[in-house]
Amino acid sequence: MKRMFLIMIFGVGLIFSSCEYEAYVAPEVIVPTEPISFSEQIQPIFSNQNCTGCHTDSHASGLDLTPGNSYQSLMSNTGVVDTLNPATSLIVTIPASTGSHYKIYTAQDDLLVLTWIEEGAKNN
């Protein structure tokens, strides 16, 4: 019992001795200078962030983000893309990097999606 107790104390000490306090340093957000391409810059976000793990043609919200279907789905669901008020578009606000949606963007993704809508949300 006593030996086991000492082993456990040693184990706990060993684990918590590896405690560190490192702040997360976010990659620098690059402001796009060229027009945003939906197929080359926006669709990969949905795939890389695994939005497409849930948002398929059978998703309850009706929003399908899989390649080939996403553009049509984004534009046909009310409020998802709002070119008059880009910042309030649901595809900007719900998965925002500061939000609490199940899958969220990086800060770079935030800027790319917002800029794409500001540029008219083209299917390019």
- Distance, in Å, from the CA atom of 19 to the CA atom of 22, rounded to the nearest integer, reads 10
Between 5 and 34, whose beta carbon lies closer to another protein? Answer: 5
From the list 34-42, 56-64, 87-95, 116-124, the region that binds another protein by CB under 8 A is 56-64
Q: 104: which DSSP letter?
A: -
Between 3 and 34, whose beta carbon lies closer to another protein? Answer: 3
- Kindly list the distances between the CA atom of residue 46 and the CA atoms of 34, 63, 82, in Å, as whole numbers in the listed order: 20, 12, 18
67 near another protein, judged by CB under 8 A: no
- By the 8 A CB rule, do 77 and 62 touch? yes
1 near another protein, judged by CB under 8 A: yes
Q: In angstroms, what is the minimal distance from the CB of 124 to another protein? A: 26
Q: What's at 111, amino acid-wise?
A: L
Q: Is 57 helix (H, G, I), strand (E, B) or coil?
A: coil
18 near another protein, judged by CB under 8 A: yes
Q: In angstroms, what is the minimal distance from the CB of 120 to another protein? A: 30
Between 8 and 120, whose beta carbon lies closer to another protein? Answer: 8
Element (H, E) at 117: helix 107-118
78 near another protein, judged by CB under 8 A: no
